Amino acid sequence: MSVWDRLVGQPDTVHLLQRAVADAAEVPPGPGMTHAWLLTGPPGAGRSTAALLLAAGLQCGEGGCGTCAACRDVLRDAHDDVVRFEPQQLQITRDEAAQLIHLAARKPVRGRWSVIIVEDADRLNEVSGNMLLKSIEEPTPHTIWLLSAPSVEDVLPTIRSRCRVQVLRTPHWQDVATLLEREGVERSMAAHAARAAQGHVGRARALATDEEARRHRHEILRIPMQLADLPACFAVAADITEAATEEAGRATATLDERERADLLQAYGEGATGVTKARIERLARGAVKELEARQKSRRTRAVRDRLDRALVDLLSFYRDVLMLQLDADLDLINEELRPQIAQVAASSTPSRTRVRMDAIERARRLFDSNAQPQLVLEALAVELARA
Ligand SMILES: [Zn+2]
């Protein structure tokens, strides 16, 4: 299996990147290759995978065979000449940009190219973006920048104008199901997970392999049947917020602890002759800063989970609308057809659209830092009223 089989439902992108790899092998590189790329596409479509595959293709002697040491090391994030930066904060900081510039200036040690992958390049702000400009515009001859972001518009104009842009699309659920089957998921589960994830490959994989993820999704899809009165709406909003907060806390706890231990060790914890009180005094500022960073990461993790919940909820009303309009399309939540039919029969297409708009509005509010529980309470009330 070549590395390119990992990117599903994106034939244009695969073709373009393969050509880039082929042209990069020439001296000087052919026109298909360039030193700065911006890969965009909806979440889960595979932009991170695409960046990784281009990196593997460039490091492999065979254009991305998938089996050599170079390919395997890139894919498991362990290649000396491939740096993968995934921002943990809401914005990419000045220090992080400085670090990236430093890494981009290094000569490759194993092959011909040094690849810097920057995920979520939309989080570059004026300061960190400006710092990277020169390096992205005129990198050292062996350096390749691979930036990724949800959409071109999200990225600073000065940055995106210096990159070759490739847009990924949402893959068809059947392509995602085929990928899951290749990874060993049983056929009907692969189909169910791929349909439910609506083209989000990572989400489909989680639903196919993690029972807890399936259970969470099921809870969310029960919401339309639970909005009987005001107290019920508030209860639903509280439940969703609590579940998201808990899940995010679990997901970040291990990393938080390790970072703290590393920090204290750097200040001398464990060394002979250093008292705990002294370390605490010395490290106070740095610990505070770390805690602030961790809090911002946790906030983001909660928001990501809430957004996913709303996407699932949206899929329910999308199905309701399909039944109301008699559209000849598959239901995303086929297993809930009786409940969907019940909601469809008790409302109208225009009321369903009002509900879907309310969900989209709530998603945008999460983006703008609004307090999650308040947003969800307002949403639950709107859904119940419509
Ligand atoms: Zn290879």
| 149 touches 120 (CB < 8 A) | yes
Query: Ligand 1 centre from 113 Cα, in Å?
Result: 14
Query: Ligand 1 centre from 61 Cα, in Å?
Result: 6
Query: Ligand 1 centre from 62 Cα, in Å?
Result: 6
Query: Ligand 1 centre from 150 Cα, in Å?
Result: 28
Query: Ligand 1 centre from 56 Cα, in Å?
Result: 7
Q: Tally the C-alpha atoms within 13 A of residue 130's C-alpha that lie toward its C-beta.
A: 2
Which residue's entry shows tokens 């791929």?
194
What's the pLDDT tens digit per position in 136-183?
998 889 999 999 999 999 999 999 999 999 999 999 999 999 999 999
End-to-end CA distance of the chain: 50
pLDDT per residue rounded down to tens, the chain (386 residues): 789 999 999 999 999 999 999 999 998 999 999 999 999 998 899 999 999 999 999 999 899 999 999 999 999 999 999 999 998 877 899 999 999 999 999 999 998 899 999 999 999 999 999 999 999 998 889 999 999 999 999 999 999 999 999 999 999 999 999 999 999 999 999 999 999 999 899 999 999 999 988 999 999 999 999 988 999 999 999 999 998 998 888 888 988 998 898 888 888 877 777 788 888 888 888 899 889 888 888 888 888 889 999 999 999 999 999 999 998 888 999 989 999 999 999 999 999 999 999 999 999 998 787 888 999 999 999 999 88
The rounded distance, in Å, linking the Cα atoms of 105 and 359 is 45
Query: Ligand 1 centre from 144 Cα, in Å?
Result: 18
pLDDT, position 360: 96
Query: Ligand 1 centre from 122 Cα, in Å?
Result: 31
pLDDT, position 366: 84
Burial of 37 (0-12, 13-18, 19+ CB in 10 A): buried
Query: Ligand 1 centre from 148 Cα, in Å?
Result: 23
Which residue's entry shows tokens 């994106």?
10
Helix, strand or coil, per DSSP, at residue 193: helix
| Token pair for 334 | 């086929």
| Token pair for 287 | 């610990």
| 251 touches 301 (CB < 8 A) | yes
pLDDT, position 299: 86
What's the pLDDT tens digit per position in 22-43?
999 998 999 999 999 999 998 8
What's the pLDDT tens digit per position in 93-126?
999 999 999 999 999 999 889 999 999 999 999 9
Query: Ligand 1 centre from 39 Cα, in Å?
Result: 22
Helix, strand or coil, per DSSP, at residue 346: coil
pLDDT, position 262: 87
DSSP 8-state assignment for residue 370: -
Query: Ligand 1 centre from 174 Cα, in Å?
Result: 28
Beta pairing, strands 143-149 & 82-85 = unpaired
